[in-house]
Structure 1
Amino acid sequence: MIVSRKLPESINRIVGQFPEEVQDFFLEMISADRSKQTIANYAYDFALFFDFLTTRGKTIHQVDAMTLKRFFRHIENGYERTVHIKMKKKDPITGEMKEVWVERTHFRENSRSGKQRKRASLRSLFRFLVKSHVLDRDPMEEYEDATLKSRARSKVPVFLTKEEALRLIQAVHHYHQKKNTKSPNWIETRDLAIILMFLNTGMRVSELINLNLNSIQTDGQVYRIIIIGKGGKERMLKLNGNAMDALKAYLERRPKDPVPPEHQYALFLNKNYQRISRKGISEIIKKYVREANLPPKAANISPHKLRHTLATLLLSNGENLRVVQEILGHSSIQTTQIYTHVINTEKDDALDRLDRML
């Protein structure tokens, strides 16, 4: 069932199984220009919830505070997520290549941020259903009123030092120098360009995978990248020399002929010549983090932590907080200020002065 042609086919399959009034919620999000990744996250969260309701024999109209409490307890320590992926398979009789849907089940940890997102997702849904007069009351309000609030924990962002970032960059070449590595040469140039783009621009992984060839603007020897951020907001950032050279090297080797028409404008491709995915990016980063043999603190570096790294390096270099906000595409400067807790020279100086006393 096609709910909207603006949604990816895999998400349409999920949303099409929801009640019609819930499908209306997704159509509203599309009208509001919410990002495809945001819509996909809502779809995955709601799929968990409606699967739970099905096992309890309940409809959306029968949800109360206790139902919500049991749902959140049900997924507290992790859950299985089933996704459908379209793959090409050869017909054993005719030998013809056909596209088929393959079901994949993954176990997911329910992290603190994951729990917060699921609550926010259901909060948005029930508010919409009340405003649309589908429901008379909001069960999430009743649930949250009766729930003990968990203590807020403020975490210092994890980031790479300058030396660790350089080791990660060098790890790309070291990895492909090995004799047992048989990747085509365009893969090495792609991976180096991706890592340098993260470290140069601090873009989000969702922003990077949605880059197209026409996202690059050239002005003589200057390369700029147009990034479409949250809420469809655009920002243009200049690439420094290293990132520009890496991108040019990748573009010279980027495959052209085997790329399917629907992926021909994608900037970064996977080994199957399709637009690279979030998972593909995460695997790339993990591979070179292992190769760089980074210390335990940096061993779980993700694309988003490379964003933290750029922010920290900029501020430690004395850059203006407002400029860093604009580079990262934060809508509020308060979001950017979390990095000032990491780079606080006054604290450093105070502890250094302790040398004279102890």
Structure 2
Amino acid sequence: MANGEAGAGPDVLERHAELLHAYSRHLGAERGRSVHTRRAYLGDVRHLLTFAAERGIHEVADLRIGDLRSWLGVQADAGAARATIARRAASARTFLKWAEHTGRIPTDPSLRLVAPKRRATLPGVLRQAEAIELLDLAATRADDEDPIHVRDRAVLELLYASGIRVGELAALDIDDLDLAQGVVRVMGKGAKERIVPFGAPAGRAVEAWLAVRSRLVGQHSGAALFLGRRGRRVDARQVRSAVHELLSHLPDAPDLGPHGLRHSAATHLLEGGADLRMVQEILGHASLATTQIYTHVSVDRLRRSYEQAHPRA
């Protein structure tokens, strides 16, 4: 089973089409999950149902804890990352809890399902000097008045200044910005709205973009803040391409995407003395524990600097 959906895959997925559709509606309407999250959850459930069908289990109600453990065990033996196994275990628990709650199965077999904990990995970040060099390069490129270069400068400045996610940035409308106050209204995960501040350099870059935005406006532009070359709302892929392309001109900097700018913003805020809960609010983290990983990044940097500088480190 190379991809987890061979053999019995098409038949079992067709058999459970109504169930999967109902679960997708639940994730979207009742739990407020994004399209991306729903796709990931449903992919994990399809993987589980296909695995079960290949072992003669065709009804969700017939799943047992041993089947779930075998499903995760096969993935672990195949070399799946701990994070992947942990996510799939969480997806199975969410699905089976919903199935029990809605009367589709009599009992939830996943109550005692334990998956390996994700390892807390330190995110890659730019040093403050590298971030400034990157933004200076973007500003220099924007001097040619190509609206795409002006846009890219504004995108990078706003990503680094606010720490928002690339998907949140792409979804921004013009009215979400308050340039006078230096804040942006963001719709985050779980349809939770938050207000995020940004600094004067980002504000000036966005103003410069708004001055040339009309050169790209088309019939599909709407109120989108950032546009692509054809006048449609910019997408995450275009933003990632811009970040990678600009970073390629800084040979000593790590090759990060937009999420790397978010990590960098959070780390530099904490290095500058920002309160952890304030950073949590800016990033839109539901749990403070998620934000605390950036304290590890800062301590890791402190340790490296100490070892380089102290004669008896």
TM-score normalised over the length of structure 2: 0.78
| Residue 33 (structure 2) aligns with | 34
Contact 1:255 1:273 in 2 (8 A): no
How far apart in 2 are the matches of 1:281 and 1:315?
25
- For 2:232 and 2:53, the matched residues in 1 are separated by 36
Q: Distance in 1 between matches of 2:274 and 2:95?
A: 41
Q: Which residue of 2 aligns with 1:199?
A: 160
Look up the equivalent residue of 1:265 and give its one-letter code: A
- SS where residue 254 of structure 1 aligns? helix
Distance 2:118 2:216 in 1: 52
> 250-259 vs 339-348, which deviates more?
339-348
Q: Is the 8 A contact 2:172 2:186 kept in 1?
A: yes
Moved more, 186-195 or 152-161: 152-161
Counterpart residue number, 2:10: none
What code does the residue aligned with 1:186 have? P
1:259 is the counterpart of 2:258: no
Question: Is 1:128 the counterpart of 2:126 in the alignment?
Answer: no
Distance 2:56 2:234 in 1: 39
Could you give the per-residue CA deviations for residues 14-72 of structure 1, whole angstroms, max 9, x where no partner exists? x9995223322222223333333322332444455556667777644354543773477
Cα RMSD of the aligned pairs, angstroms, is 3.7
* 1:161 to partner: Cα distance: 0.4
Post-superposition shift, 1:313?
A: 0.8
* 1:257 Cα deviation from its structure 2 partner: 7.1
Match of residue 273 from structure 1: 231
Task: Pick which of 18-27 and 59-68 moved more.
Answer: 59-68
Question: Which of 146, 164, 187 does residue 228 from structure 1 map onto?
Answer: 187
Distance in 2 separating the partners of 1:350 and 1:50: 50
Report the counterpart of residue 119 of structure 1 in structure 2.
89
Aligned residue type for 1:29:
L
Secondary structure class of the residue paired with 1:34: coil
How far did residue 246 of structure 1 move?
A: 1.1
State the one-letter code of the partner of 1:254.
R
Distance 1:175 1:50, change over 3 A: farther
Deviations 1:175-221 (A, max 9, x none): 6799xxxxx811111111111111100011221121111111243xx
Partner SS, residue 236 of structure 1: strand
Query: How many pairs were matched up?
Result: 298
User: Would you say the 8 A contact 1:46–1:122 is kept in 2?
Assistant: yes
Contact 1:196 1:243 survives alignment (8 Å): yes
Unaligned runs of 5+ in 1: 1-14, 79-109, 179-183
Higher fraction of strand:
1
2:276, 2:292 within 8 Å by CA — same for their partners in 1? yes
The 1-side partners of 2:248 and 2:22 are apart by 44
Map 1:237-256 onto structure 2 (within 5 A).
237-255=196-214
Query: Does the 8 Å contact 2:216/2:230 carry over to 1?
Result: no
Which is worse superposed, 273-282 or 209-218? 273-282
Distance 1:212 1:59, change over 3 A: farther
Q: Which consecutive residues of structure 2, in runs of 5 or more, have no partner in the other structure?
A: 1-12
SS at match of 1:172: helix
Identify the match of residue 290 of structure 1 among 248, 269, 272. 248
